[in-house]
């Protein structure tokens, strides 16, 4: 089989061992004669898969007992509506939501929230083309906001929070789609964490929501029942049929991460991988990354060729070297190497070796 290193931003590479195990179990899960895809979500086998998957996520992230784990559908973009529909109801209407605007994905959250609440952009890095995270002491928060929303890692801009903000008693909500499980965080500092699965967790189609229990039960009347967190929690993520196969794969990924030593071990290697990439980028002016060191994403490394007319050649020659899906997001151009948990350090080394060779050839 052709060996490639897959730098896709998502759906992204999964650990090879997980793909292999899924292949081995595809037609006959543990002697049942059934594929997981064919199992009733209420049957004994899948009930066990679901329970183990949730238990392992709780262990990996040290999720306190007063938080529910919801396994939903709709992705992070649906959560941009689901979050306000579940959280603003606790406040007199119209409620205000505070946002920190750090790039493309926080902007999407802001746009959607306008339908459900007053929006206050408490801080923005627009002045420098969304290349950094505004310092906490510059944020202009609303005293009784329904919640404060941040995107901990801007997948397109390659800008990542290097701190967990203290916002007092106001609930802190985080879109962690592209950084979940990549670094240790203190879940108790957040009221809600949500993430699409398709970067560090598993296939697209599964959305993880981690929510503090006291926030349940305030959904707006317009909130679809399937997206009312209280109903989802009361039905153990079985209010509707959950995305069973992605949940199963997520469970295999969680076990894989546990075997590697958990999130702390992932973080250690992610620091090394990111340092390799950025140290190299900083050592040459053939390639450019403008994000200040403290806010450089460990997961998504965007860079530009100084001579952009070489972009097509770069992508094509990288592919010939087995380095695939390096093209940057269409809104910003350039390149982007997404180096999630499943990217081994050898993949980053191979990328740098190719980039050096490419520079020699065309500089």
User: Which residues form the interface with ligand PMP (CB under 6 A)?
Assistant: 10, 75-77, 105, 151, 155, 175, 177-178, 196
Residue 337 or 350: which CB sits closer to ligand PMP? 337
Q: Least CB distance from residue 10 to ligand PMP, whole Å? A: 5
Reply yes or no on whether 105 is catalytic.
yes
Catalytic residue among 199, 230, 273, 327: 199
Give me the least distance between CB of 76 and ligand PMP, in Å please.
3
CB 195 within 8 A of CB 208: yes
Least Å distance, CB 324 to ligand PMP, is: 18
Q: What angle do CA 110, 111, 115 make, to 5 degrees?
A: 100
Say how far apart CA 254 and CA 65 lie, in whole Å: 19
Q: What is the Cα–Cα distance from 129 to 102, expressed in whole angstroms?
A: 9
Q: How far is the CB of 130 from ligand PMP (least distance, A)?
A: 13
Q: Say whether 272 is catalytic.
A: no
CB atoms within 10 A of CB 236: 16
175 is catalytic: yes
Q: 209 or 350, CB closer to ligand PMP?
A: 209
Which residue in 105, 228, 229, 273 is the catalytic one?
A: 105
- Specify the residue, 29 or 152, whose C-beta has the smaller distance to ligand PMP: 152
Q: Which two tokens stand for residue 253?
A: 């990924």
Marked catalytic residue, from 56, 98, 175, 228: 175
Shorter beta-carbon distance to ligand PMP: residue 80 or 358: 80
Render the burial of 103-141: b for 16+ CB within 10 Å, e for the rest: bbbbbebbebbeebbebbbbbbbeeeebbbbbeeeebeb
Q: Are strands 335-338 and 300-305 parallel, antiparallel or unpaired?
A: antiparallel
| Active site members | 105, 175, 199
């Amino acid at each position: 089989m052709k060996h490639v290193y897959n730098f896709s931003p998502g759906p992204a590479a999964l650990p090879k061992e997980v793909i292999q195990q899924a292949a081995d179990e595809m037609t006959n899960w543990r002697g049942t004669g059934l594929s997981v895809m064919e199992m009733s979500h209420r049957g004994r086998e899948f009930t066990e898969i679901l329970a183990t998957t949730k238990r392992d996520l709780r262990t990996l992230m040290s999720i306190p007992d007063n938080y529910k784990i919801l396994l939903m559908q709709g992705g992070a973009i649906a959560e941009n509506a689901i979050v306000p529909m579940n959280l603003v109801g606790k406040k007199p209407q119209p409620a205000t939501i505070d946002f920190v605007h750090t790039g493309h994905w926080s902007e999407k959250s802001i746009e959607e929230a306008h339908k459900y609440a007053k929006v206050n952009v408490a801080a923005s890095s627009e002045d420098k083309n969304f290349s950094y995270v505004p310092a906490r002491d510059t944020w202009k928060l609303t005293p009784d906001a329904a919640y404060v929303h941040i995107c901990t890692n801007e997948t397109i801009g390659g800008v990542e929070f290097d701190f967990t903000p203290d916002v007092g008693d106001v609930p802190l909500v985080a879109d962690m789609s592209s950084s979940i499980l990549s670094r240790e965080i203190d879940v108790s500092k957040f009221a809600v964490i949500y993430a699409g699965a398709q970067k560090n967790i598993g296939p697209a189609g599964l959305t993880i929501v981690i929510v503090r229990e006291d926030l349940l039960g305030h959904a707006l009347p317009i909130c679809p029942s399937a997206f009312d967190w209280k109903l989802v929690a009361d039905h153990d993520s079985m209010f509707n049929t959950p995305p069973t196969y992605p949940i199963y794969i997520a469970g295999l990924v969680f076990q894989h991460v546990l075997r590697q030593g958990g999130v702390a071990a992932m973080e250690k290697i992610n620091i090394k991988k990111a340092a390799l990439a950025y140290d190299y980028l900083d050592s040459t002016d053939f390639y450019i990354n403008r994000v200040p060191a403290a806010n450089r994403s460990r997961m998504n490394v965007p860079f530009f060729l100084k001579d952009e007319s070489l972009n097509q050649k770069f992508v094509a020659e990288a592919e010939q070297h087995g380095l695939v899906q390096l093209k940057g997001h269409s809104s910003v151009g350039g390149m982007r190497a997404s180096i999630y948990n499943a990217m081994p350090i050898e993949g980053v080394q191979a990328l740098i070796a190719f980039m050096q060779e490419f520079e020699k050839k065309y500089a």
